[in-house]
A = this chain, B = another copy of it.
């Protein structure tokens, strides 16, 4: 899943270069990192990327190992359920018994070995138990930006220890006090948005819980010409798809949900602040991959694409140079970069978006 046009990484992120296409984790894009990360389990020829029509060329340039048929371009974004339904149909055409793993293209996961181990369990469980497997992340803070899962008992005796569990309950993004209760209680997990299931399983469950979407997808299937759905058919049909997440639309209603508690470290780096957690730091906790001189400066994040920066007497700032524009804000305000994007439009600086 490489749609979305995040604005929180301005001035790096632009309409034509959203977060998943930025080199926020390594020197490659997050999308390329995601494809590379699973390549031992999912060879590139088996990868399907769903993105926006506007990003088709950029994605193909970013992933030269992928064929044009492997990049599905939504004419408009309709949240994750339509995206996953379409991908499931496409993958099922190529591999009717296929098991698919769904990965957002903008997450950071380490170490890769543990991630692949967990994914192996998820794929095997999805295939053998015909269930919808979600990867649950052990929460490290009372985050209010994610949904939570409450872990249940073992799914069956076939799965050793607690490697595969039932999901006792889904909880939408909680208030901070509720999130604190979750943390204290234990047994709660973040809903990471990473899933594994057989294509036929998810399509069955979509038919059950989102019949309107299932019908729309089936109708679109009748429009294929030489195996492909023409853009014109997509442009007409897609805007009418229900805009709903796979969590709300399917996972919260399905009786076939299971969870693999992740043993890897996960970060969805939602802002420049979060980038500070994954980049190299100097002795004063300044996170940067650029030449940095820091004097009486502590806990800053610097992202200037190689341009040297001097910080003197400042703490907890994010300093970002996007080449044609600069952002300076406290790390704790990094979520509000959306406000900057709105203000730029108002100031006639829309060319910077």
**Contact bitstring A313-353, B, C-beta under 8 A = 1, else 0:** 11001010100111111100100110110011001010010
Of B10, B310, B336, B337, which one neighbours A328 at CB under 8 angstroms? B310
Is A18 an interface residue, CB under 8 A from the partner? no
CB-CB < 8 A to A312: which residues of B?
327-330, 333, 336-337, 339-340
A98 → chain B, closest Cβ, in Å?
45
A289 to B276, CA, bound (A): 31
Q: Across the interface, name the chain B residue whose C-beta is closest to A292.
A: B347
A343 to B313, CA, bound (A): 14
Q: Across the interface, name the chain B residue whose C-beta is closest to A336.
A: B312
CB-CB < 8 A to A321: which residues of B?
321, 326
A322 → chain B, closest Cβ, in Å?
10
Of B310, B313, B340, which one neighbours A293 at CB under 8 angstroms? B340
A68 → chain B, closest Cβ, in Å?
36
Of B313, B324, B337, which one neighbours A336 at CB under 8 angstroms? B313
CB-CB < 8 A to A10: which residues of B?
310
Is A5 an interface residue, CB under 8 A from the partner? no
Of B293, B337, B344, which one neighbours A343 at CB under 8 angstroms? B293
Q: Are A310 and B327 in contact (CB under 8 A)?
A: yes
Interface positions of A from 127 to 157, Cβ below 8 Å from B: none
CB-CB < 8 A to A329: which residues of B?
310-314
Chain A interface, DSSP helix/strand/loop, else mixed: mixed
**Contact bitstring A280-307, B, C-beta under 8 A = 1, else 0:** 0000000000010101100000001001
Interface residues on chain A, size class: 35 or more
A347 to B349, CA, bound (A): 36
A184 to B117, CA, bound (A): 77
Q: Across the interface, name the chain B residue whose C-beta is closest to A304.
A: B326
Is A309 an interface residue, CB under 8 A from the partner? yes
Is A11 an interface residue, CB under 8 A from the partner? yes
A311 to B307, CA, bound (A): 19
Q: Are A295 and B343 in contact (CB under 8 A)?
A: yes
Say whether, besides A328-B328, A343-B293, A11 and B336 are in contact (CB < 8 Å).
no
Q: Are B307 and A340 in contact (CB under 8 A)?
A: no
Is A230 an interface residue, CB under 8 A from the partner? no
Say whether, besides A321-B321, A352-B308, A295 and B326 are in contact (CB < 8 Å).
no
Q: Are B313 and A314 in contact (CB under 8 A)?
A: no
Extra contacts besides A309-B328, A314-B329 (19): CB < 8 Å: A293-B340, A293-B347, A293-B349, A295-B340, A296-B333, A308-B326, A308-B349, A309-B326, A309-B327, A310-B326, A310-B328, A310-B340, A311-B329, A312-B327, A312-B330, A313-B333, A313-B336, A317-B328, A319-B328
25 CB contacts below 8 A, A to B, read A11-B310, A291-B347, A291-B349, A293-B343, A296-B333, A304-B326, A307-B324, A307-B325, A308-B326, A309-B326, A309-B327, A310-B328, A310-B337, A310-B344, A312-B329, A312-B330, A312-B340, A313-B330, A313-B336, A314-B317, A317-B328, A319-B326, A321-B321, A326-B326, A328-B328
Q: A residues near B, CB below 8 A?
A: 10-11, 291, 293, 295-296, 304, 307-314, 317, 319, 321, 324-330, 333, 336-337, 339-340, 343-344, 347, 349, 352
